[in-house]
A and B are shown apart, each in its own frame.
Chain A
Amino acid sequence: MTLLLALLIGVLYAAGIYMLLRRSIVKLILGLVLLSHAAHLLIFTAGGIEWRRPPFISAGAERLTGVVADPLPQALILTAIVISFGVTAFALVLVYRAHQAAGTDDWDEMRSSEP
């Protein structure tokens, strides 16, 4: 399972970077989305994938006993997903406005602010 996920993450990174290197600004956004998906899956995988009990304290007990799953990676990923959702929404609008203002969706023609 870990190997499978590792391969998937690798493919996502490769696809994301490939998309970033294209000239269209829409593909740029897709590339960024793929990169953030890859990072989320990476957190998930690096946090350890094993079949464990959920971390609930059983009724009457004072503390956790035995080996339980670690909930933190999921919490981190949830936060990261929300952030990347917001940022992607902004980036989409930005790309749309940039397309309107520049009249093109080609990176190579957006050079007026370059040094």
Chain B
Amino acid sequence: MSVLLPLPLLIPSLTAVVCLLGWRSRRLQRAAAAAGGFALLAAAIVLLASVRRNGIQAVAVGSWPPPYGIVLVADLFGALMVLVAAIIGVATILYSLATVDSARERYGYHPLVQVLLAGVCGAFLTGDVFNLYVWFEVMLIASFVLMALGGERMQMEGAIKYVTLNLVSSAIFLAAVGILYGLAGTLNMADLATKLRQAQGNGLVVSVSLLFMAAFGVKAAVFPLFFWLPASYHVPPVAVSALFAGLLTKVGVYALVRLFTLVFVQDVGFTHTLLLVVAGLTMVSGVLGAAAQQEFRRILSFHIVSQIGYMVMGLALFTPLALAGAVFYIVHHIIVKSNLFLIAGLVSRLQGTEALPLLGGLYRRRASLAALFLIPALSLAGVPPLSGFFAKLLLVRAGLEIGQYAIVATALLVSLLTLFSMTKIWQEAFWKPAPAADVPPAPPTGGRGYRLAAGAAGALAALTVSIGLGAEFLLRLSVEAAGQLLDPSAYVAAVLGDRP
């Protein structure tokens, strides 16, 4: 058990080291990256099974007893997130084996992806607020380089915005950590939960919680802090933006959920109402932004923003069902969104462009790709029986149960607009006849490695379908995870309890 918990951090870190040692050998790096991805996936599955069987697990790193040392904690939510991160990791690694150019591979593409995965898994598993900051930075620095690698003008401009706003958010995060330490004298999350529970009505605690909300809000790309996302997510190679789209903003959402269920529950009436308003505005502004776009990945980027709103809505409603909905939604969204980005990449490989007006006729040329697009697209909009339907159903029911009709209406309207946006892509890229002549004829096979890339996208689509058809399984997991989130006593006991 104590070996299992650090594995999702060790495997990608070690793989990164192996890749760096084999700097000159592209073949070694590729093999190591793929092996590391699959090993991470296996470790994540075992970890989730073990957490499910034995309850929340905690490991004190370096045997410093909590609350003094850093702890790694895996509850169901954390373990589930690690598993989804590993799935996306494997899919994008396979996709990038087929698509990423050799120049990027020579300049450290593979080790960077592994460092990014280590950072993401670390953020999901840590039980210490400062350690969370450190993992955020690990993840960010890897993502900075991945985004800027290649050095085209558009990439540089996107990267500089991405870097700036994320650094500002890190500075806010760090300031909040400092004040929180001054207030509570500890940064261990379980310890904070017990110490701050008695601090009802302490205005300073609430204001620190708002600092955290702002910091994670930037990372999660909620309204009005999301503007870095649509300006940057479409510039790196497809495999990179699929990885970012699936994981990075969701780490922000994860941190929000973690801190605002475990630590900052002093003034739920204020903080969570604020979150609810933010959630509604995020949904609407994201989907309206998407409606104005005419390029595949730009549309998808705005939809990330819009979908983040649903997850925050689940947190803001703060009932067991709503949190279960949020957990379900995050899992569903990560898989579907990465999948859509991968498909955008396949389309641009076939047609040589991502601009919708220049695309067309893909249904005739490649019906299988069109079908592959429809699965995640309809799931994103929430059409039954795909995974998005159940995620939205949970949230809508949770909203109706406690009479929050305004947010429910917003959520339903936004999913209608999402459907509109997806049909726009369908209509423009797949259904309408190909525009005349000036499109460069792409290789009919889609070029080298097309099968592998399409296979990675297809596997994610199959996962979406199976989550939808077998929703009961993930639903039960989400409900259990939400139960653990809402009742922190088990979490606290796992971290602090078994020690004198």
Contact = CB atoms under 8 A, between A and B. Distances in A.
A100 B466 CA distance: 48
B181 A76 contact: yes
Interface stretch (B230-238, B449-457, B473-481): B230-238
Interface in A32-67: 32, 35-36, 38-40, 42-48
Interface in B156-196: 156-161, 163-164, 167-168, 170-171, 174-175, 177-179, 181-183, 185
B153 A102 contact: yes
A72 B69 CA distance: 11
Contacts of A110: 157, 160
B148 A97 contact: yes
B164 A101 contact: no
A111 B174 CA distance: 30
B191 to A, nearest CB: 13
A101 B145 contact: no
Given A28-B164, A97-B156, A36 B171 contact: yes
Given A20-B168, A113-B231, A114-B231, A80 B141 contact: no
B177 A43 contact: yes
A115 B231 contact: yes
Given A95-B160, A101-B152, A113-B232, A36 B182 contact: no
Contacts of B137: 83, 87
B230 to A, nearest CB: 4
Contact of A80 (B156, B174, B231): B174
Interface in B282-306: 289, 292-293, 298, 301-302
Contact of A76 (B167, B178, B301): B178
Interface string B116-156: 00000000000000100110010011001100100111111
A22 B152 CA distance: 24
Given A38-B171, A73-B181, 17 more contacts: A32-B167, A32-B168, A35-B171, A36-B170, A36-B174, A42-B174, A47-B178, A76-B181, A80-B174, A87-B140, A87-B141, A94-B156, A98-B159, A112-B153, A113-B155, A113-B231, A115-B302
Contacts of B231: 113-115
Given A32-B171, A46-B182, A94 B177 contact: no
A18 interface: no
Contacts of B298: 115
A79 interface: yes
Please report whether the interface of chain B is mostly helix, strand, loop or mixed according to DSSP: helix
* Size class of the A contact interface (CB-based, 8 Å): 35 or more
Interface string A80-115: 100100110011001101100110000000111111
Contact of A113 (B140, B151, B158): B158
Nearest to B130: A76
B119 to A, nearest CB: 12
Contacts of A73: 178, 181
A22 to B, nearest CB: 12
A98 B147 CA distance: 13
A25 B160 contact: yes
Contact of A39 (B148, B163, B174): B174
A32 B164 contact: yes
20 contacts: A16-B171, A32-B171, A36-B171, A38-B175, A42-B179, A43-B181, A46-B183, A48-B182, A72-B181, A83-B137, A90-B141, A91-B167, A94-B163, A98-B156, A98-B160, A101-B151, A111-B157, A113-B155, A113-B234, A115-B230
A32 B232 CA distance: 19
